[in-house]
Chain A
Amino acid sequence: MSLPTTPLEATELARALRQELGRVFVGQSAVVEHTLCALVAGGHILLEGVPGLGKTLLVKALAKTFGGQFSRIQFTPDLMPADVTGHTLFDTRSSQFVIRRGPVFANLVLADEINRAPAKTQAALLEVMQEAQVTIEGKTLPLPPPFLVLATQNPIEQEGTYALPEAQLDRFLLKVLIDYPSLDEERALVAASCTGRTGDKLEVEAVQQVATPEQLIAMQQIAAGLRIDEAVLDYAVRIVRNTREWSGIAIGAGPRGAIALVRAARASALLAGREFVTPDDVKRVALPALRHRISLVPEAEIEGLSIDSVLTSLLARTDAPRA
């Protein structure tokens, strides 16, 4: 398999990935789109939704599409940072300390129910997510590219959970809300999942490998090089700056928000088969790229306004470029 060199080839590759995912993962097109978007942009993704919506299946299938390594960490209150990153071990045979790599050494890491672990364990993911490297006993080990952390959290349970700190939330490129599938999607999903299957094991045999990690890296580079007009860049920055001055928002997004927005917009444009970014791309990814970077004023929360509704109203009142 040759590496993609043009945006068109990259788009074709993305289309193939999406098609393979569709074999086992039915419906939830927005979630698939945003996951691919984060993968192409080289960012991490935070999925918020109730259990049982196929988050693990998605990541497992995605890993298989490009032959990447997949690992899953179930976050629990007694999980230690070393359980995530790895630790040193004294080998009696060689009389040496050897490094035992943690589950983060994979291309796709599923951090399941990330808010169940205390802050120090969550912080262990900080360096991993930002630098794509792990430091154990002073030794820095790079993670194999492409590297994507897909964390999940349950929005309804508050008992025994530790809310993610803002610094960590900021590390996620996108926060995607995953909801129950529609009736048709769910019917198709149930039919596909119970025919000729035994047990609860997630089956991803139907998924074929259509890409390699190297191709994925090349795709990420193509996306990062997509043309973005000054007016569109200006539009993205204006949106982010508006979040700091908007009446219903207490804490707006920082410059990292604008960077994330542009990165995600580039990936979105690539997935849409374009060689350039339009304001539509920016607007399309604005909600997932910004909703975890802002917090509402208490009055707005008391009034029952959600972050999404405030952001939607902000987008509707931010002038789109017409240059």
Chain B
Amino acid sequence: MDLERLSVTLRPRNHWEAIDLGVRFALSRARPLYAAWFALTLPVLAVLTLIFALWLGEISWVLLIMWWLKPVFDRLALHVVSHAVFGEIPSLRQSLRALPGLLRNSRLLAALTWERFSLTRSIRLPVDQLEGLRGKAGRQRKSLLGRRIGSAATWHTLAWLHLETILWTGLLGLVWLLIPEDLMPAGVTLWKLLTAQPLWFSCLLYLPLLACSLLLEPLYVAGGFMLYLKRRTDLEAWDVELQFRRLAQSHTARSGLASVCIAILLGLLLGVATPSPAEAADSASLRETQISQSGETIKQVMQDPAFGKEETERRLHWRSSDEPKNKDAFKLPDGLRGLFQGLESFFEWIGKAMAMLGRIGSWLLILAALGLLLYLASRFGWLRNSGDAKAPPAELAGFDIRPQSLPDDLASAAHALLAAGDARGALSLLFRGSLSRLAHREQVAFARGDTEGDCLDRTRQQASARAPYLARLLGCWQRLAYAHQVIPPAEIEALCQDWRKHFEEVSRG
């Protein structure tokens, strides 16, 4: 490889400039490139069309196989481009003659199988084909090259994919517009184009795709190759080397005569004697010594402040107890280790973020649960206050039914009221006393809205033994209170007696 014969100017470029340069370079050498390219692809296409399209009637298979065989064709394109870069454009015959060797020695099987879907195949191809590296060395080399330009190569592939699709769609639309309506098969819509039945029709539709694919692929290969050259230029400082060589050449040319004069002068000044063999041996040993000490010398030179200085910075970081003790027991390749370290830190970050989210989520859940409990408690409290209270109320619709508000001997008090002519007061007292006893002693749950009928119903359900008496009492009470009828004193008297029987037993019990 003679750098001086390079057809492109080497200088620091970014990725996209390099790809652009590759495409432009390929276009500038389009004739030899496409001649070789079509010399290979068109016969293959012809054979495939013959077999699949005309014989089997499956034109889509042609497309698929042509797409799959792209790495085969790429090798020839790269052969032409790489030679053109170094100033020697191979003839068509030379290219085709080199083809079997190219196919044999460039890991074609891998390229057609598990590496077929690699998005960085444009920069892998030069390593396989031009450097001829295999196995571990090849992997390390690809990893080293791909470290900086891998993403650019991926985007290069994706961009080409899109470009191909856009051009194909445009051409497809054009073809569709140009087909006369009379020739258009019945019932074919734009969406059913690709499965249309007549062969000529399918050919018209697939032709644009093939054309795009075949025309764009050499440019893609050239772009990838120039990206590869850029990376090697960065790594191996080809541009610097080239500059040195040019400097050296110009220096040699200009100082040819002067150096002869200086040599003569030096010879006269330093002595007539030529160096003895012993001296020559000394200078050789000195060179050996210098070479062996070069490591130390470089270290001393590097300590100069001009080359930067060493700084010690201390910072705190989390110590994880389960840190692997013997990290270096198993050494991974550099590329993989970098990848794994990157992945590890990424997953660690993800894990921390998830843990934080989980923590926040659990606090929110706890808060929500507390809120729900409070809400339920308040609702329960509201229900309890709404009339179904277990504790008997002190007052029931104007009636004070607390036991202490009632006279000790209620029946006697009612009797006294009756004797005084206050039948209503007597019945009211009996009614009030009954409610109080039933509520406090027999836990009948009266509510403020209970009418006499409701009171009787509750008593029937919860203290059925008292119900007949209460029914009698309430009958009298209703007749007196609502019908304003005169209740016979004997009836009230009987109620007083029976009250004692029913409710004083309870109090005694």
Docked CA distance A275–B483 (Å)? 7
What residues of chain B lie closer than 8 Å to A322, measured between beta carbons? 396-399, 428, 431
Answer whether residue A194 sits at the interface, using C-beta atoms and an 8 A cutoff: no
Contact of B481 among A231, A282, A284 (CB under 8 A): A231
Structural contact, B397 and A317, CB atoms closer than 8 A = no
Structural contact, A315 and B449, CB atoms closer than 8 A = yes
Structural contact, A280 and B449, CB atoms closer than 8 A = no
Docked CA distance A150–B488 (Å)? 45
Binary per-residue interface labels of chain A (223-236) against chain B in the complex, 1 for a CB within 8 Å, 0 otherwise: 00001110110000
Structural contact, B483 and A276, CB atoms closer than 8 A = yes
Within B374-410, the residues touching A (CB, 8 Å) are: 386-387, 396-399
Docked CA distance A323–B482 (Å)? 9
Question: Could you give 22 example pairs across A and B, Cβ below 8 Å?
Answer: A227-B484, A229-B482, A275-B483, A276-B479, A277-B482, A278-B453, A279-B482, A283-B451, A313-B386, A313-B387, A316-B386, A316-B387, A317-B447, A317-B449, A318-B449, A319-B397, A320-B448, A320-B450, A320-B451, A320-B452, A322-B396, A322-B398
Contact of A229 among B448, B449, B452, B481 (CB under 8 A): B481
Structural contact, B449 and A316, CB atoms closer than 8 A = yes
Docked CA distance A280–B449 (Å)? 11
Which residues of A are in contact with B by a Cβ distance under 8 Å?
Answer: 227-229, 231-232, 274-280, 282-284, 313, 315-323
What is the interface of chain A mostly: helix, strand, loop, or mixed? Answer: mixed
- Using known A-B contacts A227-B484, A280-B452, determine if residue A317 contacts B478 with beta carbons closer than 8 Å: no
Docked CA distance A232–B428 (Å)? 16
Binary per-residue interface labels of chain B (28-58) against chain A in the complex, 1 for a CB within 8 Å, 0 otherwise: 0000000000000000000000000000000
Within B449-505, the residues touching A (CB, 8 Å) are: 449-454, 478-479, 481-484
Contact of A317 among B396, B398, B448, B454 (CB under 8 A): B448
Contact of B451 among A274, A278, A313, A317 (CB under 8 A): A278
What residues of chain A lie closer than 8 Å to B479, measured between beta carbons? 276
What residues of chain B lie closer than 8 Å to A282, measured between beta carbons? 451
What residues of chain B lie closer than 8 Å to A232, measured between beta carbons? 482
Which residues of B are in contact with A by a Cβ distance under 8 Å?
Answer: 386-387, 396-399, 428, 431, 447-454, 478-479, 481-484
Docked CA distance A275–B485 (Å)? 11
Minimal beta-carbon separation of B334 from chain A (angstroms): 66
- Using known A-B contacts A313-B386, A323-B481, determine if residue A283 contacts B453 with beta carbons closer than 8 Å: yes
- Given known contacts A275-B483, A279-B452, A319-B449, what 11 new A-B pairs fall within 8 Å (CB)? A227-B482, A229-B482, A279-B451, A279-B453, A279-B482, A284-B453, A316-B386, A317-B448, A319-B398, A320-B450, A322-B428
- Using known A-B contacts A315-B449, A322-B398, determine if residue A283 contacts B482 with beta carbons closer than 8 Å: no
Docked CA distance A229–B424 (Å)? 15
Which 10 interchain pairs have the tightest Cβ spacing? A276-B483, A280-B453, A279-B451, A319-B397, A316-B449, A229-B482, A320-B451, A280-B451, A276-B482, A322-B398
Find the A residue at minimum CB distance from B450: A320
Structural contact, A283 and B398, CB atoms closer than 8 A = no
What residues of chain A lie closer than 8 Å to B447, measured between beta carbons? 316-317
What residues of chain A lie closer than 8 Å to B386, measured between beta carbons? 313, 316-317
What residues of chain B lie closer than 8 Å to A279, measured between beta carbons? 451-453, 482
Minimal beta-carbon separation of B180 from chain A (angstroms): 54
Docked CA distance A122–B428 (Å)? 50
Docked CA distance A319–B396 (Å)? 8
What residues of chain A lie closer than 8 Å to B453, measured between beta carbons? 278-280, 283-284
Find the A residue at minimum CB distance from B388: A316
What residues of chain B lie closer than 8 Å to A277, measured between beta carbons? 482
Structural contact, A278 and B398, CB atoms closer than 8 A = no
What residues of chain A lie closer than 8 Å to B450, measured between beta carbons? 320
Minimal beta-carbon separation of B467 from chain A (angstroms): 15
Structural contact, B454 and A283, CB atoms closer than 8 A = yes
Docked CA distance A181–B484 (Å)? 40
Minimal beta-carbon separation of B100 from chain A (angstroms): 82
Structural contact, A231 and B449, CB atoms closer than 8 A = no
Docked CA distance A278–B453 (Å)? 9
What residues of chain B lie closer than 8 Å to A317, measured between beta carbons? 386-387, 447-449
Docked CA distance A279–B450 (Å)? 9
